[in-house]
Amino acid sequence: MPTPTAHENDWFFSMMSFFKPLSLCLILFLAPIGSARAQDAIAIAPDGNVSIPGTLSVGTIDNDALNKIAEALTWYVFAPNVYDAFVQVTDNPQLLHDNEFMIMRNRGMRRLHFSSWNGGMRLVTEPYMTGDRSNLLGGSVWVYKTWDPNSQTCDSGKAFHYYYKYANGEVANVTGNGCQAETMIYARKYVFR
């Protein structure tokens, strides 16, 4: 490719010197317009209130769809304790198909799974790291009206608690807290079924 001559370079630089001021004028003229539009964006007040100026259009989403989305994003108190959660899902098994569950326990949010087998119910956390002296994968399990003799020993309002751990390729119940009322159980609607 041939090298440009001094004359060709002069033409290029003279064109650049013509467009530089024009570009600068356009930028200075359009900048206030762009910033004015940016200032119309969402405002968040110190008290947490959010305001959106102008008209907000959502297309064809109706209030029912928006409410379902809000329900799926919001955890609510499902039961004041484990025992009451067992009672609710035993009385209305459809709740298990419509909701996911969790408990705040051992300094974290723990997903919960209800299961039944040969009578009674179990409520199990997803595994998490446990142990004060050793790091083992495990979690909590509560039993309610099962064949486990311990599940029959609890007074009304309480469920029997075990810890479970994975060790040596097996899952085993280990010590637990016995009959406990425990804490609140949260639920939220499934987005997809």
Provide the whole-model pTM: 0.62
Confidence at residue 19, expressed as pLDDT on a 0 to 100 scale: 53
Helices within the chain (DSSP H only): 6-39, 63-73, 82-91, 94-98
Q: Over the chain (193 residues), what is each successive 10-residue block's mean pLDDT?
A: 53 52 50 47 65 59 72 87 94 93 87 87 86 78 88 88 87 85 90 65
Tell me the C-alpha distance between 50 and 42, whole Å: 7
Confidence at residue 70, expressed as pLDDT on a 0 to 100 scale: 75
Q: Which residues does residue 144 pair with via DSSP β-bridges, in sequence order?
A: 121
Confidence at residue 37, expressed as pLDDT on a 0 to 100 scale: 45
Domain range list for the chain: 6-48, 71-189
Check if the beta carbon of residue 87 is closer than 8 Å to that of residue 103: no
Compute the Cα dihedral for 160, 166, 172, 176 and give only its sign: negative
Check if the beta carbon of residue 187 is closer than 8 Å to that of residue 111: no
Confidence at residue 96, expressed as pLDDT on a 0 to 100 scale: 92
